[in-house]
Amino acid sequence: MISKTDSIELHDRKFQLLFDKSQIDKRVQELAESIKIKFKDQRPLFIGVLNGSFIFTSDLVRAYHGECEVTFVKLNSYEGMDSTGRIEEQLSLKENIKGRPIIIVEDIIDSGRTVHHFLKSIQSKNPSSVSVATLLYKPKAMQFDYNIDYIGFEIPNQFVVGYGLDYDGLGRQLDGVYVLEES
């Protein structure tokens, strides 16, 4: 049964709860544990992609019980970009990542374009490894071919908000993930 609090309104649209706080917390713990098993005593650098991944990144690194570093980038990728795969880095990476293990942290992978271009940019700086972690993944929307190492939840090709993700600026602070109600 859908309770009152499972339905929210942002601007002019209604959204229904998809994953609540406890489901997300549990999954984030599991992802952090899998990452720790792989990275053992290495010191990975988590790179959160702003704005959407600020909450997921902070929860993921707090659940990661090992030495690590954290930084953020802010990216903008466009349709119809040339094959060199440049992206506009509105806030760019300052760290020297040569020889270091990198984990890119995204809130959601939709078409896959943003991470595709960022991966190329990261790989050109010769890190020792690059992994991708995303809380949400829309497999039906994906247009690129690369491996996503850590996926929180696969979701249908629908618009979601909450837990860092916004609808026209609103909803980032919600502790659950909500899906747009079809009107």
Q: Given candidates 18, 68, 132, 160, which one binds ligand 5GP under the rule CB under 6 A?
A: 160
- Both tokens assigned to 169: 């600026």
CA 5 to chain CA centroid, Å, is: 25
Q: Given candidates 161, 163, 177, 178, which one binds ligand 5GP under the rule CB under 6 A?
A: 161
CB 163 within 8 A of CB 56: yes
Nearest partner of 19 among 51, 55, 50, 47, judged by Cα: 55
Contacts to ligand 5GP from residues 9-68, by CB under 6 A: 52
Amino acid symbol at 70: V
Q: Is 110 a catalytic residue?
A: yes
Q: Report if residue 107 touches Mg ion, rule: CB under 5 A.
A: yes
Q: Report if residue 109 touches ligand 5GP, rule: CB under 6 A.
A: yes
* Residue whose CB is less far from ligand 5GP, 48 or 112: 112
Catalytic site residue from 6, 25, 107, 110: 110
Instruction: For the beta carbon of residue 133, count every other beta carbon within 10 angstroms.
Output: 24
Helix (H) or strand (E) holding 108: strand 101-109
Residue 175 carries which DSSP code?
S
Q: Given candidates 110, 118, 148, 163, which one binds ligand 5GP under the rule CB under 6 A?
A: 110
Q: Report if residue 112 touches ligand 5GP, rule: CB under 6 A.
A: yes
Residues that bind Mg ion in the complex, under the rule CB under 5 A: 49, 52, 106-107
